[in-house]
Structure 1
Amino acid sequence: MNFPSRLSAPRAILFDLDGTLADTAPDLAAAVNVLRTERGLAPTPYAILRPTASAGARGMIGAAFGLAPGDEGYEDLRLAWFDRYQAAMAVHSTLFDGVNELLEGIRAAGMEWGIVTNKPMRFTDPLVPQIGLAHAGCIVSGDTTPHAKPHPAPLLEAARRLGIDPAHCWYVGDDLRDIEAGRAAGMVTVACNWGYCGAIDPSTWGADFQLDTPADLLATLNAVVASVRAAEAV
């Protein structure tokens, strides 16, 4: 397996939350359909809502109501959706298949791992322990720093909290903003095909890696570490 020449052995793996570590779309979609039901509207099909999950309120309200930020009525729906979602965040949300094994493999290899999400703290803080991720080395939410992704500030804050140079961190996500933020932070970037990539082809994002499963990520990490160590031994 050939790797970019700039790669060094990773010391920390940082993850987006929604669509990367956790399949939270069922509860996100349920909350927006509560809003539709309250307004006498039929639920929006889950197949339409799921691909927008990584975009949060912007994606859900856009798909369910055809409104975008700045449109009349959008802000009221956004605030109402926040309340409905907070009331039932972890009913059907689960970790993606293979994530537990991935995190165990990362720890076994002596690496740190953490979460960097655009989800506000009011959701992240209660949700993370409920879905089995309380052991994260750090959790940086969308309002932890003055900027959210695609700005690099949240990723740099995560690296600071872990005490690891960003150049030795990888960032894994399922949205273009994740890859843009990781690149801007000087991290190795991974686009995960198992998330909510929607209709956009992740191969256009310019990520260092594009992988299909959490098991593929663990195998790639182990292969990179072995390759770097072999090169250093020469």
Structure 2
Amino acid sequence: MKKYEAILFDLDGTLLNTIGDLTEAVNHAQRAFGYPTHTVEEVTAMVGNGIRKLLERATPEGENNPNFDDVLHSFVEYYIAHVAVKTDYYPGIPELVEQLQQRGVKMAIVSNKFQAGCEELRERFFGQTIQTVLGDGEGRRRKPSTDAPFQAMRELDAKPYKTLYVGDSDVDAQTAENAGMDYVLVSWGFSSREDLEKWSPLEIAESPEDILKYFS
């Protein structure tokens, strides 16, 4: 089996279950303007393409709503203040990251979540164990663009053929394929197995432990 020296993780739905706090922030912003709120299941179906797209999907009339920018600001302000109320690791993730660190694996997060949110979650849950975190911002195009993966690999001094991408969605699969990278999709995230099976990952991991075998 091929072994890798670096790993790029998606964040939401891969390392952390963030859907509770995302739902609270979406509904806070909707209530502030008298709009209908959404269930966890509905918000789960809306995530994956960054917060602007999330709020477009959640807000009546989307970007055409005259209050849209204020709704977006309300969401960001609330979310940053409540980023880790309900959010937690998926089972086995702390152990996986610890094992990867012990094996000298270079690690980065590449996400469509806004940069400040990514940095706050990295700091709270992983400290500096994960060396690089790249979210939506700083002129990068969102995944499935290859901007963030290639920047992360440059910062890690890692080669694409020696780097494994791990995510939970069609956006992650498309990102990895666009970058010509090997990838694993995880079964515990925000996508259904039926959606994951449309792609060609090395495997659909059933637990974080499944990922360890790709690293010496």
- Tell me whether the two structures share a fold, i.e. TM-score over 0.5: yes
Structure 1 residue runs of 5 or longer lacking an equivalent are 226-234
Aligned to 2:214: 221
Task: Give runs of aligned pairs for residues 40-79 of structure 1, distance below 5 A.
Answer: 40-41=34-35, 43-58=37-52, 60-61=54-55, 64-68=58-62, 70-73=63-66, 74-79=68-73
Aligned to 2:16: 22
Contact 1:193/1:212, CA 8 A, preserved across alignment: yes
Contact 2:8/2:163, CA 8 A, preserved across alignment: yes
Q: 1:131 aligns with which of 119, 125, 131?
A: 125
Q: 2:99 aligns with which of 83, 100, 105?
A: 105
Structure 2 residue runs of 5 or longer lacking an equivalent are none
Code of the residue aligned with 1:186 in structure 2: it is: G
Distance 1:199 1:213, change over 3 A: closer
Task: Give runs of aligned pairs for residues 80-91 of structure 1, distance below 5 A.
Answer: 80-91=74-85
RMSD (Å), alpha carbons: 2.4
Q: 1:202 aligns with which of 188, 196, 201?
A: 196
Code of the residue aligned with 1:122 in structure 2: it is: A
Code of the residue aligned with 1:71 in structure 2: it is: N
Give the TM-score of the pair, scaled to structure 1. 0.81
Code of the residue aligned with 1:139 in structure 2: it is: V
Greater shift, 100-109 or 20-29, is seen at 100-109
Contact 2:30/2:37, CA 8 A, preserved across alignment: yes
Question: Percentage identity across aligned positions?
Answer: 27
Can you list the C-alpha shifts for 1:63-111, whole angstroms capped at 9, x where unaligned?
A: 543544x433444422322222122111111111110111122223332
Greater shift, 176-185 or 39-48, is seen at 39-48
Aligned residues: 215
Give the TM-score of the pair, scaled to structure 2. 0.87
Task: Give runs of aligned pairs for residues 85-234 of structure 1, distance below 5 A.
Answer: 85-197=79-191, 201-218=195-212, 220-221=213-214
Aligned to 1:228: none
Code of the residue aligned with 1:151 in structure 2: it is: S
Greater shift, 76-85 or 97-106, is seen at 76-85
Can you list the C-alpha shifts for 1:45-67, whole angstroms capped at 9, x where unaligned?
A: 22322343334435643554354
